[in-house]
Structure 1
Amino acid sequence: MVEEQVTQEKQDNKEVVLEVKDLGVSFRAGTKDDYKSKVFDIFNKSDDDEPKQKEFWPIRDLNLKGYKGEILGIIGSNGSGKTTLCKLISGILKPDEGSVYTDGEVSALFSLGMGFNKELTGRENVYLNGMMLGIAKDTIDEYLETIHEFSGLGDFIDQPMKYYSSGMKARLGFSVTSHLQPEILILDEALNTGDAQFGKKAAAKMKELVKDAKMVIIVTHSLRYAKRNCDRLVWLDQGVIKADGDPKEVAKMYRDSVPERPKRKRDFELVKANAKVKDNVIVKADNATVQYKLGKQPFNALKDLDFEIREGEVVGIIGHNGAGKSTLCKVLTNILKPDQGSIMLKGETSALLGYGTGFNTQLSGRDNIYLNGMLLNIPKEVVDRELENIIDFSGIRKSIDKPIKHYSSGMAARLGFSIAAQLKPDIFIIDEALSTGDMAFKEKASEKIQEMMESAKAVIIVSHSMTFVKKVCTRAIWMEQGQIVSDGDAIEIVEEYKESVKQKG
């Protein structure tokens, strides 16, 4: 109690730049606002179904202050109201109750640089994003080369963004919003797909920002990142602030709240044992090369890749943003074809390429389960049979009849993983799809991946979470500039990669 009083006195002496009073916002579950959503109902609703009009309050009676010069972290499980709060503070949503006061212009970067046009180049998108933030063109001209250099995108700055990985979009989005003189900067899951080296640069930039700007707000699922970089931490749960204070103490309270999952009968290390790996080759890359043109110059997104993946392997693909990881996933799912060499796949491939690719944001979560089933060529009767299991596993039953556009990126990731995992593919590819998952769901997902090893022929995971790769994968492939740097035991390769990051940093 005394500590709380001292903390309050310290805060009272600071300049308030953000004040949220009795804040509340409501949505109506089951409503749809475009004709496609209504037409889609014929796929999984009968004529006598009653439309649902249930009112849902993701946030209500919320009070919060933000102070000049601080980096404020917000944590909480998926669906806890973090993204909704950020949208209310940034003015994207208007409150139904209460008020939001901000002393200064708010610049918000939502996951993966929301607002980018994939057909435009990175350079053109810098101007587009700057104008959306109300920045004058001559100011953008002044900062353009600094933004380009900070992003580390090199010649990719003049490449259409449809060729960018999720991490490259995150790099550019952060570089734009952090350099164009923000007063209050909100980062909602925006750096989850960033590599370790860029994460360090971003952390240093945020500390620099609060000297001149007023405050930075970070939404993250990484407790380690929050403890290292935030001055204060708020734990949000179902729209209510459960704790507010010292990052280490709040992070511990949140971690302690996550229920322990029952121990599996079989030890995790036995699941990873080499005895489970069979001789049968499921994936074979033979001198696979993918080329783009950067201006007039050819660029090898992948170059002369040679590797085999055998039945029973869980392979982690690691490396910096732009290393070629997402391009490899697109080749493995036949979205792209190699310009040279070949990729052999033995079995049906199901891919979850980050944040629920293929979701229709106007449709509800339930409708999107059927839509994704069709995209994966799964018969409707199979989806009918698995529907309740998918909803249960996702843990978002309360929001399943809300349009996806009201989901946080973490909720979309949960649902996307649950659909793809429950429908039992032969080869399962996960590209950054769990970067926004909360602690409890990552535990469930890890166990599900282990179960899938018994039914799927191979699992391939692209991730910047080295802890996750070490825990789940039997093997890791480290890529840089479209080529394989190292390939072997997951723990050994991760340590090699981390050492390389240390030396460069």
Structure 2
Amino acid sequence: MSKQNEIIQSKGVGVAFYENDKDDLKSKAFRIFSNEKKKKRSKHTWALEDITFEGYEGEILGIIGSNGAGKTTLSKVISKILIEDKGDIDVDGKVTALFSFGMGFNKELTGRENVYLNGMMLGIDKELIHQYIDDIHEFSEIGKFMDQPMKYYSSGMKARLGFSVAAHLQPEVLILDEALNTGDARFGQKAADKMRELVKEAKMVIIVTHSLRYAQRNCDRLIWLDRGHIQEIGDPKTVIANYRASLPKIEKKKRRSLQLTKTETEVKDRTVVKAENVGVSFNLNNGEKHWALRHLDFEIKEGEIVGIIGHNGAGKSTLCKALTNILRPDEGELEVNGQTSTLLGYGTGFNPQLTGRDNVYLNAMLLGISKKKVHDQFDQIVEFSGIGKAIDRPIKNYSSGMKARLGFSIAATLKPDIFIIDEALSTGDVEFKEKASERIQDMMEQAKSVIIVSHSMTFVEKICTRGIWIEQGQIRMDGKAEDVVKAYREATGANQKGKKVLRAKKKQ
């Protein structure tokens, strides 16, 4: 990293959001849901204020902070999607930004078509895309799905393809804003290796992430944002230690331990989910039938907290959709005894034109919660989400983490028989994940079972009493959460080492 070559110079940058900012016609039409009087445009909130820093050639610069701290806003200012209201920022180079997973993809087009579409949206010449298309396909590891519509992709497959496009098309300054939060650990390491290659040829890489472990391993420096201000810039280990120390300590309640040896007696005999030879298939464009799930046999008893793990595209989200009748099995029997409430990804069901307040009512009613119950618990939902005054701003101005927090807070009020969480907390910060963990444990007093799909092995170990590892649509292992996670980590590490050896041999 050469401090003589400054790629980014930011001096006193500020960005303001107005509470009644200029809306498009669609936004204005949706305002019929709001009973509030029109507010004066002069009232505003500084999303960023006095942001001063430098970015140097050859470095991987990380940006961390709690949900709503201003990380995504800063990314958009660097990439010129947003223009600063005060101060100046200069970027020496062409910026390629990848915001969350699959943004800019058209679900009706194939992966290959979307590579060209996404690449040209990033300003890349079609001939250059054609030159790298095979490398992008190989790196993404999506196989035959490259020529299938993206509506069949899991969120992780979209994340992998999106990163592969952005990383291979000669970026000068690459920004990854939560772009890998749904990726599995193996692909995350592969992406980290690719980023180190990039900074040798490109100018710099900027990573926005809630994964402090990932940031410490892969970043040269970190910027810690807090409520729109820079709290600290420096060595990753030091900045992360100070950030962790700033988080409020959550008082632990007396409750049953989540260690399986102590909860085993509380797991009841009553079966709430039973799968017998379950299979779910899709008809692909080439006429081939693809089995997303096949030969699934398992039972979930009342009182269990089950973590479902596996690589991207393993079939985890398909299983969640089958459990909630969004998809019906093509073979076998799937029996669910109880009311289910599902949180599929962050912000699912949110309308970006409406305010957070309007979306609380809309999203809750979609989950089957009565308007009266929402009204009675509205203050608790907002307080738990921690988004404060942003509840009256349009969702389109929310960060992905803010959507995750609000979505979880709504769904958790229903207290369903079976609560399914599919990567809904992948963008949550450390503090909120701790709160969510507490709430999930509380819910076990009313819910019959909780099913969590996650790429966070630490989260699964901490919260779940049982783990189910799915690989290529089939169950590879089912048992104690700690044992399943350990086996998955060992297999992932072995596979990664093997692939590195093969790549080394190819280069020779």
TM-score (norm 2): 0.94
Secondary structure of 2:101's counterpart equals: coil
| In structure 1, distance between residues paired with 2:132 and 2:259 | 53
Q: Using the alignment, how far apart are the partners of 2:367 and 2:166 within structure 1?
A: 36
Displacement after TM superposition at 1:328 (Å): 0.7
Counterpart of 1:387 in structure 2 is 378
Q: Residue 14 of structure 1 aligns to a residue in which SS?
A: strand
Q: Which residue of 1 aligns with 2:212?
A: 223
- 2:139 alignment partner in structure 1: 150
2:404–2:424 contact (8 Å) kept in structure 1: yes
Q: Secondary structure at the match of 2:258?
A: helix
- How far apart, CA to CA, are the structure 2 residues paired with 1:213 and 1:38? 43
- 2:204 is aligned with 1:209: no
1:45 Cα deviation from its structure 2 partner: 2.8
- Residue 246 in structure 1 maps to residue 217 in structure 2: no
In the alignment of these two chains, the number of paired residues is 493
Letter in 1 for 2:389: K
The answer as to 2:56 corresponding to 1:67 is yes
Q: Which runs of 5+ in 2 are unaligned?
A: 497-508
Deviations 1:254-303 (A, max 9, x none): 01111111121225336961122111111111211111133222111000
How much has 1:239 moved relative to structure 2? 1.1
Q: Is 2:463 the partner of 1:468?
A: no
Which amino acid in structure 1 is aligned with residue 441 of structure 2? Answer: Q
CA distance in 1, matches of 2:390, 2:263: 39
Separation of aligned partners in 2, 1:128 and 1:40: 30
The one-letter amino acid of 1:429's match is: I
**Residues 1:291 and 2:281 are matched in the alignment:** yes
Q: Which amino acid aligns with 1:328?
A: L
CA distance in structure 1 between the partners assigned to 2:294 and 2:270 by the alignment = 25
Deviation at 1:35, TM superposition (A): 5.2
RMSD across aligned C-alpha pairs, in angstroms?
Answer: 1.6
* Structure 2 partner of 1:24: 14
Which of 454, 459, 466 in structure 1 is aligned with 2:450? 459
Q: Partner residue of 2:369? A: 378
Mapped contact 1:353–1:433 kept (Cα < 8 A): yes
Tell me what 2:350 maps to: 359
Aligned to 1:273: 263
Contact 1:323 1:479 in 2 (8 A): yes
Pairing partner for 1:191 from 169, 180, 190 = 180
Distance (whole Å) between structure 1 residues aligned to residue 94 and residue 329 of structure 2: 46
The counterpart of 2:299, out of the listed 288, 297, 308, is 308
CA distance in 1, matches of 2:274, 2:147: 32
* Residue 400 (structure 1) aligned with residue 421 (structure 2): no
Following the alignment from structure 1 to structure 2, what is the Cα–Cα distance between the partners of residues 439 and 97?
A: 31
C-alpha contact (below 8 Å) 2:307/2:451 kept by paired residues: yes
Match of 2:109 in 1: 120
8 Å CA contact 1:386, 1:423 repeated in 2: no
Judged with a 3 Å threshold, the aligned counterparts in structure 2 of structure 1 residues 207 and 77 are, in CA distance, closer, same or farther, namely same
The residue correspondences of 1:154-169 to structure 2 (distance < 5 A) are 154-169=143-158
Deviations 1:386-417 (A, max 9, x none): 11110000000121111111111111100010
Contact 2:257/2:263 (8 A) holds in 1: no
CA contact (8 A) 1:32 1:403 kept: no
Q: Relative to structure 2, which stretch is displaced further, 440-449 or 112-121?
A: 112-121
Q: Which residue of 2 aligns with 1:106?
A: 95
Extract unaligned runs of 5+ from structure 1.
1-9
